[in-house]
Structures are given as C-alpha cells and as structure tokens.
Amino acid sequence: MSQLIALFDRPRISAWDVVDILLVSLLIYEALKLIRGTRAMQMAIGSLLVLLLLYLSQTFPLRTVGWLIRNLLAYLVFAAIVLFQSDIRRALSHVGRAPFFRLLGRSARAAETIEEVVTAAAMLAKSRVGALIVFEREIGLRNYVESGIPIEAAVSYDLLTTIFQPATALHDGAVIISEDRIAAAACFLPLTVNPHLDRDLGTRHRAAIGLTEECDAIAVIISEERGEISLARHGRISRGLSSDDLRNRLQALILMRRVRRSDAPAPVEIDA
C-alpha cells in the first residue's frame, strides 16, 4: 500500500516543467528529422545498441563486454565527428537558416547584395552593356516577377553580368532582386508616359521610371550608349552616378531606410 501511495505522490508539475519537456521534445524531433534518410540514422541505431549492451553488462555479469564498451566510448565521439562531418555541417546550416537567425543576418546579406550589384554595374558600364536591375522593397513585385524567367539564385556580379550579355536569351528586360536573391530575369516593366522626359532616355530608363512611379522599388540602370549608371526611385532618375555614388545611395535607401507613410511619390525629376 505504501508503494502504491508513493507512486502517485509525485511533485506538482509547474509551467516551466511543461516548457522544459516541450523544448526537449522539439529538439529530439528536429534531430530525428535531420538524420532521417542519412548515414547518421544508422549511427544513431548503432549507438542505441551500444548503450543497450552497456546497460546489460552492468545488470548482468558481462565483465568483458562492459570493459570493451567503456574503452570504446572514449573514441566513438571522435570517430563520429570524422565520419559524419558533412552531416554535421548540413545540420548546422539548417539551424542557421531558421527564421530567427535569418532576421539577425538580414543586414549583412543586404550589404553583400548591394556590393555585388555595384560591382556588376561598374563592370557593365565599363563594357557599355545595357542593364536594368530592380530592388523590391515594401510593395511586392510578384506580377512582374511572373512575367520573366524564374532564377531564384544568390546575387553575384558574375551572374548579373552574364545575364545582361547581348548574346544571352535573358538580356532583354529587367532583373528583379527580392529578399537578397535574384527572383527572375527578363521581366517586363511598364513604361512611363510622362511627356517631359529627355528624348535621349531609352526603353530601360523609361521602364525604370514607369515602375518606380507605381511602387517603392529602386531601379539601377546602365546605359549601353553612354556607359553611365543611373538610379530611379519614386519616378525620379539620377544619372551619371559613379560606383561610390551608387553604393552610398543604395545603402541609404536599403540598409538605413526608415519606412515613412508620408513618403509619397514625387513628380518626375531628372538630375543632370
């Protein structure tokens, strides 16, 4: 009777105990998801068998088995690290892609994206290759992304300069960058109908102005005739920018911007 009473006489479970159990369960679940279908699953099964043998050697007089397992356990950890280093890297990479860590690394990725775009713009301008690169901001550009060819690749100057080469099939249209990735290329943008624009502005410049008149996107334009870099925002276009000017403006607009509801589009203005 006393044993039965002791069985039910357990300490009260607090809210922190529930949280503790849930966290451990979540960790075990995520660990099983990571190793499912990999060699690490076989390693986990083998480890359970070793622990079972260790328990049996302590319960029953299996001294030789216990001695062997205790001596092997010290080396199994290092063996697992060497044999499953690729799986460990994959697991750590998976953890690093969690939403919380993505939020912490967003500024760093944005800075890298800006640097890649600036480098590509300088190379394209020097080679007099036309290009149009659009940064998506608060207002989504899904309609324009769907009009082009999906890319879904990391932003790099190599990829950008390759896309806009005249010999490629994707050089016509715009590249749209969304969440620090190239979402699509060869996208069609609306042309501005403003009659007060300079006549020397080509289709790329008019498309950049037309898009930025409708939303808060930022467009970088490289002219193949003049080899100059321009930047369009809110229907305004700034022309003849250097690489440093472009970098400073993109950093101010993307990295250090503050969303203001009163920031309404202004009429078209062309900087000399």
* Greatest C-alpha distance within the chain: 99
Model confidence over 250-264: pLDDT tens digits? Answer: 999 988 653 343 344
**Cα 121 to chain center, whole Å?**
22
Judge whether 163 and 170 are in contact, CB under 8 Å: yes
Residue 201: CATH number of its domain: 3.40.1700.10
State if pTM tops 0.75: no
pLDDT at residue 186, as a whole number: 93
What pairs with residue 132 in β-bridges? 221
**Could you tell me if 51 and 131 lie in one domain?**
no
Model confidence over 6-52: pLDDT tens digits? Answer: 656 666 778 888 888 888 888 878 777 766 655 566 666 777 787 78
Model confidence over 204-240: pLDDT tens digits? Answer: 999 999 999 999 999 999 999 889 999 999 999 999 9
What token pair was written down for 33? 């998801």
Q: Which helix (H) or strand (E) holds 64?
A: helix 63-83
φ, ψ dihedrals at 194, nearest 5°:
-65, 125
**Could you tell me if 188 and 202 lie in one domain?**
yes
Output DSSP code: residue 168.
S
**Could you tell me if 258 and 229 lie in one domain?**
yes
Q: How confident is the model at residue 118 (pLDDT cuts 50, 70, 90)?
A: very high
**Could you tell me if 86 and 205 lie in one domain?**
no
Quote the CA–CA distance of 105 and 53 in Å, as a whole number. 45
Last residue of a domain, one of 87, 102, 117: 102
Q: Judging by beta carbons within 10 Å of its beta carbon (0-12, 13-18, 19+), is residue 43 exposed, middle or buried? A: middle
Q: How confident is the model at residue 197 (pLDDT cuts 50, 70, 90)?
A: confident
pLDDT at residue 13, as a whole number: 75
pLDDT at residue 271, as a whole number: 43
Q: How confident is the model at residue 56 (pLDDT cuts 50, 70, 90)?
A: confident
Residue 7: Cβ within 10 Å count = 8
Last residue of a domain, one of 76, 102, 128: 102
Average pLDDT of the residues of the chain = 80
Quote the CA–CA distance of 22 and 34 in Å, as a whole number. 18
Quote the CA–CA distance of 132 and 189 in Å, as a whole number. 10
Last residue of a domain, one of 102, 135, 167: 102
